[in-house]
Chain A
């Protein structure tokens, strides 16, 4: 069964410092991995995805993620955090639930708080 784990409920960083939001996955076959961000009272917004190719994936708003097959991880990173990056972040894997061809299985989310 496909699953993802986000081991940290909350991550706190100071503005200007690098940030990492962790995600590990468990899949059968090739993993298709995604990161989404959710701002208060809004739906999820797509940040980036890994399907195949380069292990370092670049996405929106200066975020990137590193796919590590040996560690089954897909951590989200940003070199310099902004206060406006404060939000809820979800890692997801393509689920293939039942006959679905593309549903997502989400982690429980990590709240990122960036302080000035």
Chain B
């Protein structure tokens, strides 16, 4: 079934450790996004990529980095995890970023930083 695959499903991580959340899509979508979901705050954009080879900062980018080496993969890295990064992380993609196509979401990575 076509869609977005995120890994791991969940993770408990010690503060200060480095962590990469993986995201792969098989729909050949141009645009990809990373959001974090926190209770009472909805989803907030961390980073985005309009097309392979380009990335940009969203609303809450501090402490996170991304890369977009190819169309399918959009990993999110926490260089040195802190407890405030405990959250549920969602990767999403859309076909053409400027054409108001709906975004498709993965099932999320639940990350706890201790």
Contact = CB atoms under 8 A, between A and B. Distances in A.
- Among A42, A100, A106, which residue has the most Cβ atoms of chain B within 10 A? A100
Interface string A31-53: 01010100001111110010100
A108 B31 contact: no
B7 to A, nearest CB: 13
Interface stretch (B50-58, B68-76, B79-87): B50-58
A103 B100 contact: no
A103 B58 contact: yes
A102 B45 contact: no
A29 interface: no
B56 A109 contact: no
Nearest to B9: A41
Nearest to B48: A100
B8 interface: no
Given A34-B102, A97-B59, A43 B107 contact: yes
Contacts, number: 78
B94 A97 contact: no
Contacts of A44: 43, 90, 92, 103, 105
B107 A109 contact: no
B111 interface: no
B107 A100 contact: no
B41 interface: yes
Contacts of B97: 100-102
User: How many A residues touch the partner, as a band?
Assistant: 20 to 34
Contacts of B31: 101-102
A63 interface: no
Contacts of A34: 102
B105 A102 contact: no
Nearest to A32: B100
Interface in A39-83: 41-46, 49, 51
Interface string A6-19: 00000000000000
A31 to B, nearest CB: 11
B56 A98 contact: yes
Contacts of B98: 101-102
Interface in B34-67: 35, 40-45, 48, 50, 56-59
